[in-house]
Amino acid sequence: MHYVDGLECSEFDREVFTELREGGLACVTVTCGYWGDALESMDSLAAWRQLEHDNADLIGIARTAADIEKIAADGRTAILLGFQNSAFLAGRIRFVELFADLGVRVAQLTYNIQNDIGASCYEDPDSGLTRFGRETVAEMNRVGMAIDLSHVGERTSIEAIEHSVKPVAVTHANAASLVPHRRNKSDDVLKGLAARGGVLGVSGYRNISGPYAESIDTWAEMVARTVDLIGIEHVGIGTDLGRKVTFEHLQWMRQGRWSAQPQYGAGSATNPGKQPPLPWFPDTRAFPAKEEALRRHGFDEPSVAAVMGGNWMRFYADVLPESGNEKPSREE
Amino acid sequence: MHYVDGLECSEFDREVFTELREGGLACVTVTCGYWGDALESMDSLAAWRQLEHDNADLIGIARTAADIEKIAADGRTAILLGFQNSAFLAGRIRFVELFADLGVRVAQLTYNIQNDIGASCYEDPDSGLTRFGRETVAEMNRVGMAIDLSHVGERTSIEAIEHSVKPVAVTHANAASLVPHRRNKSDDVLKGLAARGGVLGVSGYRNISGPYAESIDTWAEMVARTVDLIGIEHVGIGTDLGRKVTFEHLQWMRQGRWSAQPQYGAGSATNPGKQPPLPWFPDTRAFPAKEEALRRHGFDEPSVAAVMGGNWMRFYADVLPESGNEKPSREE
């Protein structure tokens, strides 16, 4: 069984990588940026190459599903490089291919605002997937960059699902019919995503999990209800874990550079702060407890394996390129 | 009487500046860019400082309405620095003030696509003015940057007019009720703009002027009908003149970097090329002929003066800052 976390926003360092290993993670998608333009995003990718170099005993950056298998077989954690916004494209359609060459494998179409691709879940009205957005989705399909709709608005999400010829993901959100919140996804979106082979990463993030964040067993209950809604093949885990994320990091995610007014993201003026860690999931070392909770909740063995990582592995095999560009080895 | 051209997209050099002088232009808003990000837009502004330095006998960059008067009184043409897209902001709300400090005085909210501020006239559906868009409009109001809605979509235009506390402009378009074309403006938009003290720059650009592009007298007829529609105080000239604009420049305007598919802007697949110059308006030396045509068409003297430039001068006095930042003089 592979453990996969569909999305983390942690500030990674050797300690956090060690936690990934202690939790037995085969693969995690990391957040390389939110608001950075193309050059800033390249800085972030360059920093990840240094992190990989310095922690090669613990992690490896994966470019293909086969890479994930190989890295996991080594006893290391495969890192998929992702962005929670498509600002890295800086509006250039040809940059989809360039950033894929640089190893980017997961891209959320927008983060919290309307952009040139489409609308976020916080924007009203929702432009839908724009002309540039449709070309971007097609390019992401072509180059093997997974499309993430987590913070994306309703109409844009539905149109992206329809326009994409590959399955798409919601890496970190919950069903809005279970926990009403703008960040969560309507049954229409989730059923459309499932019908096309996509995967939802169920989160435990307090602001979007409501009462299901209370314990590992309420979380397992949310997973079970989500499976009832869209089927066992389409539910995975996307913790949205933010290890070592400070209030300043959170402010940057929410505020970016687009607004001079206070912005609260999934929080609110009365709930502006960083959420305390979940006692039952302080970091990825608690992944095995999720497996046990699912089993305790009545999931059979194939279902436990599907949720813990199998569905993500199938999704990556469907979507990522078959062969990655060779990264030149670094001379010492 | 001041002659003012509300928008040109010419590739300016000493020859084109000389034409401005021979045409007797008091002021022209130039296009510093379409798709450039913040740094590229600074390059363009830097190039304009060099152009001003090299042609100081013919032109001067104006930062205030008083600057325009002073430069015109010198027998030179005042240049207002404008962008036909707000890509120069690169999504940063604080950059409105920074680019105003650098002398930018006219900003179109978007050019031909949906962006983070709102929709263009070619996008369907139209997001309306986004949250970032509303903050941007308020900032442009505050710092004295004129808001241009020429290529902007219907809903976004109406919301920008409503949200702006200052008059706004359509620097270069026509009334869609006279010439049906996506680039032209509905009566709703034009009447809303006029009700708030804004100005429309009537264009003669072939693709959006239909039969009114035939002669200087049909053009004067279009001006008269536009005046009937929104009132004499709200009609000016915005030639959209593209002196020395080549097909390659046109391709860049239309294509930018957002699409890998052929894009035709105000043209079409069957009409993809650069439009030939108007025989009755090959360049700005023909401005006095417009004055004569208006008079011939029955406009009285105050009305001729209002259309030829008076309305733009009032608009600039309403919208531009009262005092400009001092530009350090350049040492020889």
* Mean pLDDT of all residues belonging to chain A: 96
Which of B99, B122, B132 to probe the A interface (max A CBs under 10 A)? B132
Asked if B92 reaches chain A (Cβ–Cβ under 8 Å), the answer is yes
Q: How far apart are CA A101 and CA B78, in angstroms?
A: 47
pLDDT at B219: 98
Query: Is B113 close to A127, i.e. CB distance below 8 A?
Result: no
Residues in chain B: 332
- Residue A325: the pLDDT is 63
- In three-state secondary structure terms, B38 is helix
Residue B224 is part of a domain; what is its CATH number? Answer: 3.20.20.140
Please provide the DSSP assignment of A29-88 as one string. Answer: EEE--SS--HHHHHHHHHHHHHHHHHTTTTEEE-SSHHHHHHHHHTT-EEEEEEESSSGG
Concatenated DSSP letters for B132-161?
Answer: HHHHHHHHHHHHT-EEE-TTB-HHHHHHHH
> What's the domain count of chain B?
1
* pLDDT band for position A324 (cuts 50, 70, 90): confident
Q: What is the pLDDT of residue A65?
A: 98
What pLDDT shows up at residue A323?
85
Which residue type, as a one-letter code, is found at position B272? P
Whether A331 is in a domain gets the answer no
The answer as to whether B28 is a domain residue is yes
Closest residue of chain B to A91, computed from CA coordinates: B258
The residue assigned the tokens 């490089």 is: A81
| Residue B324 lies inside a defined structural domain of this protein | no
φ and ψ of A50, to 5 deg: -70, -45
SS3 B232: helix
- Residue B272 near residue B195 (C-beta atoms within 8 A): no
Residue A332 lies in a domain: no
| B70-86: pLDDT as tens digits | 999 999 999 999 999 99
Instruction: Let me know if A260 is exposed, middle or buried by CB neighbors in 10 A (0-12, 13-18, 19+).
Output: middle
In a domain, A325, yes or no: no
Taking phi first (over 0 means left), then psi (-120 to 50 degrees means alpha), and beta for anything else, what does residue B107 get?
Answer: beta
A88 — phi, psi (to 5°)?
Answer: -60, -25
What is the C-alpha separation between B106 and B121, in angstroms, rounded?
19
B114 touches chain A (CB under 8 A): yes
Identify the CA nearest to A115 among candidates B221, B258, B271, B41: B258
Does B113 reach chain A within 8 Å, measured CB to CB?
yes
At A155, the amino acid letter reads R
pLDDT reported for residue B323: 85
pLDDT in tens, A74-90: 999 999 999 999 999 99
Whether residues B113 and A123 touch (CB distance < 8 A) is answered with: no
Average pLDDT on A20-25 reads 98
How far apart are alpha carbons A67 and B169 in whole angstroms? 55
A92 touches chain B (CB under 8 A): yes
Residue A203 located in a structural domain: yes
pLDDT in tens, chain B (332 residues): 999 999 999 999 999 999 999 999 999 999 999 999 999 999 999 999 999 999 999 999 999 999 999 999 999 999 999 999 999 999 999 999 999 999 999 999 999 999 999 999 999 999 999 999 999 999 999 999 999 999 999 999 999 999 999 999 999 999 999 999 999 999 999 999 999 999 999 999 999 999 999 999 999 999 999 999 999 999 999 999 999 999 999 999 999 999 999 999 999 999 998 989 999 999 999 999 999 999 999 999 999 999 999 999 999 999 999 987 655 555 55
**Neighboring chain A residues of B142 at a CB cutoff of 8 Å:** none
In which domain, by residue range, is B194 found? 3-319
Q: How many CA atoms lie within 13 A of A99 on its CB side?
A: 33
Could you give the CA distance from residue B17 to residue B33 in angstroms, rounded to a whole number?
A: 18
- Establish if B81 touches chain A: CB-CB under 8 angstroms: no
Gap between the Cα atoms of A317 and A319, Å rounded: 6
Distance from CA of A128 to the nearest CA of B (A): 7
Q: Tell me the per-residue pLDDT of A135-158, one tens digit each, with 9 for 90 and over.
A: 999 999 999 999 999 999 999 999
Structural domain includes residue B14: yes
- The amino acid that residue B285 corresponds to is R
Interchain proximity B127–A114, CB inside 8 Å: yes
Query: What distance in Å separates residue B35's CA from the closest CA in chain A?
Result: 9
Q: What's the number of CA atoms in the CB half-sphere (13 Å) around residue A149?
A: 34
**Does the CB of B37 have a partner CB in chain A at under 8 Å?**
yes
pLDDT attached to residue A62: 98
Torsion of CA A199, A205, A210, A215, to 10 degrees: 100
Verify whether the Cβ–Cβ distance B259 to A90 is below 8 Å: no
How many angstroms separate the CA of residue B90 from the nearest CA in chain A? 8
Whose CA is closest to B134, among B118, B119, B149, B145? Answer: B118
Cis peptide before B279 (omega within 30 of 0): no
pLDDT digits (tens, 9 = 90+) for B92-128: 999 999 999 999 999 999 999 999 999 999 999 999 9
ipTM of the complex: 0.89
Instruction: Flag if B125 and A123 touch (Cβ within 8 Å).
Output: no
Helix H or strand E segment including B104:
strand B104-108
Token pair listed for A199 = 């995967």
Closest to A87 measured CA to CA, from A224, A253, A218, A235: A253
Do A125 and B127 count as a contact with CB atoms less than 8 A apart? yes
Q: Map tokens 């940063």 to a residue.
A: B92
- CB spacing of A92 vs B116 below 8 angstroms: no
Give, in order, the Cα–Cα distances in Å from A87 to each of A82, A91, A164, A226, B268.
Answer: 12, 7, 20, 31, 30
Residue B325 lies in a domain: no
| pLDDT for residue A328 | 52
